Structure 1
Amino acid sequence: MKTVRIGRRKIGDQYPTFVIAEMAWAHDGSVENAKKIIDAAANARADAVCFHLTSMKNYMVPQYRTGKGRVSAGKEALPIYAYLSRINLTPAAWAELFPYARKNGLLICAMCNDLPSVGLAFNLKADAYVVSPASLAEENLVRCVAKKGKPVFLRVGGATMEEVERAISWMKEEGNENIVLVYGFQSYPTKLEDMHLKFIPTLKQKFQVPIGFADHTDGGSDLALVIPLVALAFGANVIEKHLTHDRSLRGEDFESALDPPVFKKFVVNLRKIEEAFGFPDVRSLSKAEREYREIARKRTVAARDIEKGEKITRDKLAFKRSDEGIFSD
């Protein structure tokens, strides 16, 4: 399987899980809120933060979803175009936040929702790009991102295998094979029966690239800390988790987001579980295993007293736990 390198970090089966704190729109249009989220991601020792860069007029038509209800419970009762336009961060804001995240030791994954945003992310020196499920079939955007020469996270939730194959083909045609496929989608929050975690090894086996899981479990449930670990067990190399500065405010994307203390606990738990997993390669016994083997394995011992010079036969031997005796090997 291919290994992908982002900044100082490598992503693959032989390396620690790459943890992304997804800010998305949880800043609610405030640079200060965004900085609080960045601080929380850094404090939890996430590897990266995911920023959503958007030029509204290039991203959606003004009448999108008008009269069809809210997409997220966090949104006000406004047309989504007007609402997102109000909380969308400006290029100047991003120019402040990119170096702020770097100063805090975080890599930056830029989800570019349109072509102008790709240019902005490039100018601000994003470490990696993210193509959302909404843009996976947009050939110009996928090719544009690929040409930047940075690793690309292709978000494949809600995509057919044919669409995934086509996006990968576009990437490779542009000379970029630094691809990570990220499974999972947002349903405010996503129901357990819609997650299909067993699809993760299917993707890994078919495409031979690192696989990520973007978790959108209800952030207020106990399972919010469990589901990502299950994804890890199914072979996920990347875990992306929504992070907000204060879930109680019910801001944008709060449904699947974690508060800072809970996010930190999530990362701590993940690293502990990772230790238990070890690595899949054939290896020699660990020090602890050798000690266990020495203490616990049965040895060949005398079943009864054997006189000096007496011929030893099978019936005179026994296998018992003992500090003395001979191991069978």
Structure 2
Amino acid sequence: MSSSVFFIAEAGVNHNGSLDLARQLVDVAAEAGANAVKFQTFKAENLVTAAARKAQYQIDNTQEDGGQLAMLRRLELAHEDHEALLAHCRDRGIAFMSTGFDSESLAMLGTLNMPALKIPSGDITCGPLLLQAARLRQKLIVSTGMSTLGDIEQALAVIAFGLTHDGTPSSRAELEEAYSSAEGRQALRDHVTLLHCVTQYPAPASAVHLRAMDTMREAFGLPVGYSDHTLGLEVSIAAVARGATVIEKHFTLDRTMPGPDHAASLEPAELKELVRCIRTVEQALGSTIKGPAPEELGNRRVARRSVVAARPIAAGESLTLDKLTSKRPGEGISPMDIWFLGDRTARRDHDLDDLIAP
């Protein structure tokens, strides 16, 4: 990933289990100018038990109660679907990504040469999946919804261990040692980006707390981005202004389509506008150095002032304050020096508003 903001158009499961809809989502993401389009990869039976209930937002968005298992079965993508989507992404000039929610899916995704592997918020406490992801030695984007700093630190300890050790950890102390070691810290800096996230669909702006990005960046010394589940564009744009290196945002072909995530997703025109806004903000952030932009230099003489005669002054008169004032243009002596001219005399006659000769 480059130094510019990496924008992930999150298709997720908004394909509703249709490869044709998934291809259309790729097209929309590419036309919007996203860096990557990301799906979700899972085997429903490997992810949830038959007793696992839907989250309330899933019940609200699907307008049906019941368990996660039946819902997720309808939203699976087959292995051959991934190959087809990967090829379509290549044709459209956009990177393919997917989040792996189980060991089998993660292993398959690790072979697809994606820009990064995504760890979802719900799996930040799934030690075995974290260890497997680390062992793939690829870039990792770790989402932190529902997490405390302690949760994040423990997850990073597992990842640091996986990046620097073989085998499985024998104790928490061994994980802590890997996390605290210079080798482990460097491995994390080389591989991991953290995403601030609020796991609610949609998430109210009042729940976002973007300043937590600063806390995470300072606590862990890692790049931080934002996975946005709010409605609208504003919060993602604000996250970029606050230093997010990655933005992830759900999108859909149509918010009224059935499914758990459509209602909290952007439609195609909104996605394109968000990418445009982020690129503009990214340009505007620029350098940390405060100084005149090249475009400003020609305006100095127009906007700044010079010391001028407040009344006619004869050659040889002393240049005391009562005879001087400051007006535009800024082509003469700076008004910052007006107090220091009293011991000088006029070199020539000056009419009212004449620039005082240097």
Same fold per TM (> 0.5)?
yes
Q: One-letter code of the match for 1:282?
A: I
Displacement after TM superposition at 1:25 (Å) = 0.6
- Tell me, yes or no, if the aligned pair for 2:40 and 2:101 is still in contact at 8 Å: yes
For 1:295 and 1:309, how far apart are their aligned partners in 2? 30
Distance verdict in 2 for CA 1:75–1:109, change over 3 Å: farther
**Structure 1 residue corresponding to 2:159, chosen from 167, 171, 175:** 171
- Pairwise mapping of residues 171-190 of structure 1 onto structure 2 (< 5 A)? 171-173=159-161, 174-175=163-164, 176-177=187-188, 178-190=191-203
For 1:74 and 1:166, how far apart are their aligned partners in 2? 34
Displacement after TM superposition at 1:252 (Å) = 3.4
**Structure 2 residue corresponding to 1:33, chosen from 21, 39, 57:** 21
Displacement after TM superposition at 1:127 (Å) = 1.9
Number of equivalences: 311
Q: One-letter code of the match for 2:157?
A: S
- Tell me, yes or no, if the aligned pair for 2:57 and 2:260 is still in contact at 8 Å: no
Displacement after TM superposition at 1:292 (Å) = 2.9
Which residue does 1:83 correspond to in 2? 71
- Tell me, yes or no, if the aligned pair for 1:74 and 1:254 is still in contact at 8 Å: no
Q: One-letter code of the match for 1:317?
A: L
Which residue does 1:226 correspond to in 2? 234
Q: One-letter code of the match for 1:143?
A: L
For 2:220 and 2:96, how far apart are their aligned partners in 1? 25
SS in 2 for 1:73: helix
Structure 2 residue 271 is the aligned partner of structure 1 residue 263 = yes
- Tell me, yes or no, if the aligned pair for 2:85 and 2:96 is still in contact at 8 Å: no
Structure 2 residue 139 is the aligned partner of structure 1 residue 151 = yes
Which residue does 2:179 correspond to in 1? none
**Structure 2 residue corresponding to 1:193, chosen from 206, 220, 236:** 206
**Structure 2 residue corresponding to 1:293, chosen from 287, 300, 308:** 300
Which piece of structure 1 moves more, 82-91 or 249-258?
249-258
Work out which of the two has the higher radius of gyration on C-alpha atoms and give 1 or 2: 2
- Pairwise mapping of residues 129-144 of structure 1 onto structure 2 (< 5 A)? 129-144=117-132
Gaps of 5+ in 2: 165-186, 338-358
Displacement after TM superposition at 1:197 (Å) = 1.9
TM-score (norm 2): 0.80
Which residue does 2:317 correspond to in 1? 310
SS in 2 for 1:301: strand
Distance verdict in 2 for CA 1:157–1:88, change over 3 Å: same
For 1:227 and 1:256, how far apart are their aligned partners in 2? 14
Distance verdict in 2 for CA 1:293–1:299, change over 3 Å: same
For 2:126 and 2:319, how far apart are their aligned partners in 1? 79
Structure 2 residue 258 is the aligned partner of structure 1 residue 250 = yes
Which piece of structure 1 moves more, 196-205 or 149-158?
196-205
- Tell me, yes or no, if the aligned pair for 1:128 and 1:152 is still in contact at 8 Å: yes
**Structure 2 residue corresponding to 1:101, chosen from 77, 86, 89:** 89
TM-score (norm 1): 0.87
Q: One-letter code of the match for 1:298?
A: R
Per-residue deviation, residues 138-189 of structure 1 (Å, max 9, x unmatched): 1221122122222111100101111101222222331442211111133221
- Pairwise mapping of residues 10-89 of structure 1 onto structure 2 (< 5 A)? 10=2, 15-65=3-53, 70-71=58-59, 73-74=61-62, 76-89=64-77
